[in-house]
């Protein structure tokens, strides 16, 4: 038997009468009361087709007897009298309508649960119906078993209303003044406060009683009438506590008739709302505590000496709070991962996952730039060695690394991946790296306008898009310089022979000529795009890091005098056609971040 079936059987146990043979069932009915042949026939059919809750209309339609509804109704009335079955109801168009047929074990808790639920269905039909006071229910059903009744505090009632219900069937007892209690069930508990408040509102519809409330609240009739229509917990607490404080005086006032049920309702509402406010405060403090714990985990990740932490380390930091949160730990962990490791829209998460590691957003861009600085000389040395080997062997291996811009870029990507997988991932995810850069600049208040932001971003990204510049450009891998340094590593006699024979230029063209041309054309287009997007002042006032990079040599093999070329080109080339939306699309969201 599955766990679900076990719970279902606990809530809806199979009545003994269902398992009886027809003759035994006839004898059983004769023992408990007088039943007509039609009622007996209906009862047999109910037992043979027993379900936990039998749909009323479906069963009625399958009865092929005259006056089926009447006979079914009288049968269920008799079964209800003997505490072994009843009809349940639902609200439809403001009225109670038969809903389900329920056959229960004799005097079982399910029978009383359905009885209590029906009180609340009646209250939805009319507020003049009574609440299920325990004293009233016991008058009608003195056999109500104490073992099936659970007394709950008001805070527990609020948790039940919020969905934290018992796994076993029971009737809830909520204590009120005068030694009485109101009863509820897991299904109907949520209706209790609505019914109580509704009754009080109906009571104050009488102008004489409304005046009493206005005096207690020391306010006008109009004001008290408006407040009665609200759900303000402070108002209802103050009103009911004020009425309870004046209970003796009000009971002695012969001009108004106020019974004990009125004050019991006031007592219930007052205690319920006070508990509601208390629970809200507890939940506020709990949220603050959870927030602090989550922030402490994020801070620990930020301050971890490794900076880049693996999944085991992240799990260790989170599970350090497992004992504190006990049963709520799974919920706490899920909330932390949702809030701190999942971004929203274009905003990066606080903890970012890159290459099977986790890094705090505050550390991401500094780590990226540090690794870029470390990678640049490594790549420079690597490609000088590769060039030297190809020159020595006249490229016996037929390597095409330097023969095209695409080949060179692909090889740089693969080489970076071999040396530093984290950096390779950053270079393959420009959206994350650019967001991390913006976050870093904003933290250090290094940008005051979208133009300044663009100037910083153009150290790594194309002017018109958030795509990285060519890797050769970013890493300052000057093909001309690489060729020259590789050439200088050849034996001196070979260098002399090559130069004497005039083959230096031929070799340079053979190894880097095509790539040289492609990079040159690409950077020319990039400079033109930057001219169009950046005002003169922004270009001339770029930050020191930008000016230092401008002094470097591009991958095309020539120094770039950007200040001159970007501000005073003698014959500017005809710009590509971009509309305003296309020009600003990649940058708009970054400009917006400056306003946050």
What is the average pLDDT across 50-69? Answer: 91
Residue 413 has pLDDT above 90, yes or no: yes
pLDDT at 523: 67
Q: How far is CA 104 from CA 52, 56, 111, 149, in A?
A: 8, 16, 6, 17
The confidence score (pLDDT) of residue 412 equals: 94
Is the pTM higher than 0.75? no
pLDDT band at 59; cut points 50, 70, 90: very high
535-592 residue pLDDT tens: 554 444 444 444 444 444 344 443 443 333 333 333 333 334 444 454 445 445 445 5
Sign of CA dihedral 189, 190, 193, 194: negative
The pLDDT score that the predictor gives to residue 46 is: 94
Please provide the average confidence, as pLDDT, over all residues in the chain. 85
pLDDT score of 573: 37
Question: What is the arithmetic mean of pLDDT over 388-404?
Answer: 85
| 336 contact partners, CB below 8 Å, separation of at least 6 | 294, 297, 318
CA distance 150 to 183: 10
Cross-strand bridge partners of residue 183: 173
Class of domain 3-106: mainly alpha
Residue with tokens 């811009």: 405
Q: Taking residues 366-395, report their average pLDDT.
A: 92
Q: How confident is residue 417, by pLDDT bands cut at 50, 70 and 90?
A: very high
pLDDT at 11: 66
Distances (CA, A) of 577 to 465, 529, 573: 15, 11, 12
Question: Which two structure tokens, joined as six digits, stand for 446?
Answer: 């290094």
pLDDT at position 588 is 52
According to DSSP, the residues that pair with 128 across neighbouring strands are: none
- Tens of pLDDT, residue by residue over 263-310, are 999 999 999 999 999 999 999 999 999 999 999 999 999 999 999 999
Helices (H), 444-533: 450-457, 471-474, 479-488, 492-500, 504-533
- Mean pLDDT score, 39-59: 93
With 80 as the cut, is the pLDDT of residue 66 above it? yes
Query: Does the pLDDT of residue 424 top 60, yes or no?
Result: yes
What pLDDT is recorded for position 68? 92
Q: Given pLDDT bands bounded at 50, 70 and 90, which one contains residue 17?
A: very high
Q: What is the CA radius of gyration of the chain?
A: 41
The first and second tokens of residue 284, run together, are 């506020």
> Cβ(531)–Cβ(572) under 8 Å?
yes
Q: Of 55, 38, 39, whose CA–CA distance to 101 is shortest?
A: 55
> How many CA atoms within 13 Å lie on the side-chain side of 45?
18
Q: Where are the domains of the chain?
A: 3-106, 283-355, 358-530
Q: How far apart are CA 467 and CA 460, in angstroms?
A: 8
Of residues 511 and 125, more confidence is placed in 125
The Cβ-side half-sphere exposure at 137, using a 13 Å CA radius, reads 25
3-state secondary structure of 133: strand
Contact between residue 358 and residue 301 where contact means Cβ atoms under 8 Å apart? yes
What's residue 381's pLDDT?
95
How many C-beta atoms surround the C-beta of residue 569 within 10 A?
A: 12
The sign of the dihedral angle between the CA atoms of 228, 231, 232, 238 is: positive
Bridge partners of residue 358, in order along the sequence? 309, 353
**pLDDT (average), residues 51-79:** 93
pLDDT score of 529: 66
Query: Which pLDDT belongs to residue 394?
Result: 82
Buried-state track 106-127, b at ≥16 Cβ within 10 A, e below 16: eebbbbbbbbbbbbbbbbbeee
Closest CA to 573 of 516, 514, 531: 531
Residue pLDDT, tens place only, 237-251: 999 999 999 999 999
């Amino acid at each position: 038997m599955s766990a679900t079936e076990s719970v279902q059987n606990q809530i809806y146990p199979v009545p003994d009468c269902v398992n009886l043979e027809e003759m035994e069932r006839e004898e059983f009915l004769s023992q408990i009361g007088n039943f007509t042949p039609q009622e007996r026939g209906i009862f047999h059919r109910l037992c043979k087709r027993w379900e936990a809750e039998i749909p009323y209309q479906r069963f009625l339609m399958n009865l092929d007897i005259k006056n089926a509804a009447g006979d079914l109704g009288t049968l269920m009335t008799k079964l209800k009298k003997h505490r072994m079955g009843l009809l349940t109801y639902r609200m439809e168009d403001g009225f109670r309508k038969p809903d389900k047929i329920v056959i229960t074990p004799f005097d079982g808790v399910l029978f009383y649960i359905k009885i209590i639920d029906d009180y609340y269905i009646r209250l939805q039909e009319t507020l003049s119906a009574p609440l299920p006071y325990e004293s009233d229910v016991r008058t009608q059903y003195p056999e109500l078993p104490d073992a099936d009744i659970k007394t709950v505090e008001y805070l527990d009632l609020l948790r039940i209303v919020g969905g934290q219900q018992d796994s076993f069937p029971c009737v809830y007892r909520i204590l009120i003044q005068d030694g009485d209690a109101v009863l509820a069930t897991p299904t109907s508990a949520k209706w209790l406060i609505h019914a109580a408040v509704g009754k009080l509102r109906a009571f104050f519809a009488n102008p004489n009683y409304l005046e009493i409330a206005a005096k207690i609240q020391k306010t006008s009739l109009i004001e008290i009438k408006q407040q009665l229509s609200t759900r303000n917990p402070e108002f209802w607490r103050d009103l009911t506590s004020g009425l309870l404080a004046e209970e003796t005086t009000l009971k002695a006032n012969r001009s108004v008739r106020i019974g004990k049920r009125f004050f019991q309702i006031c007592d219930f509402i007052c205690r319920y709302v006070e508990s509601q406010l208390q629970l809200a405060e507890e939940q506020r403090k709990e949220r603050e505590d959870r927030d602090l714990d989550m922030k402490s985990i994020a801070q620990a990740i930020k301050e971890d000496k490794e900076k880049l932490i693996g999944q085991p380390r992240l799990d260790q930091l989170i599970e350090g709070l497992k004992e504190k949160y006990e049963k709520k730990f799974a919920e706490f962990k899920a909330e932390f991962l949702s809030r701190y490791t999942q971004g929203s829209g274009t905003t990066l998460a606080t903890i970012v996952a890159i290459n099977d590691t986790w890094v705090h957003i505050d550390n991401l861009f500094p780590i990226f730039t540090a690794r870029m600085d470390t990678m640049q000389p490594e790549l420079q040395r690597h490609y000088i060695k590769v060039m030297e080997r190809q020159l020595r062997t006249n490229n016996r291996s037929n390597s095409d690394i330097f023969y095209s811009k695409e080949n060179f870029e692909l090889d740089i990507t693969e080489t970076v991946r071999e040396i530093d997988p984290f950096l390779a991932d950053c270079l393959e995810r420009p959206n994350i790296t650019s967001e991390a850069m913006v976050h870093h600049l904003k933290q250090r208040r290094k940008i005051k306008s979208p133009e300044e932001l663009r100037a910083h971003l153009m150290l790594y990204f194309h002017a018109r898009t958030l795509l990285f510049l060519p890797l050769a450009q970013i890493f300052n891998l000057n093909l001309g310089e690489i060729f020259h340094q590789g050439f200088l590593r050849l034996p001196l006699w070979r260098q002399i022979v090559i130069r004497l024979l005039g083959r230096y230029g031929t070799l340079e063209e053979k190894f880097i000529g095509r790539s040289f041309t492609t990079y040159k054309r690409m950077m020319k287009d990039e400079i033109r795009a930057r001219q169009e997007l950046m005002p003169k002042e922004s270009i001339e006032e770029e930050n020191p890091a930008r000016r230092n990079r401008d002094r470097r040599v591009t991958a095309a093999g020539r120094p770039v005098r950007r200040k001159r070329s970007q501000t005073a080109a003698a014959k500017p080339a005809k710009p590509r056609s971009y509309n305003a939306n296309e020009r600003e699309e990649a940058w708009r969201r970054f400009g917006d971040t400056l306003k946050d």
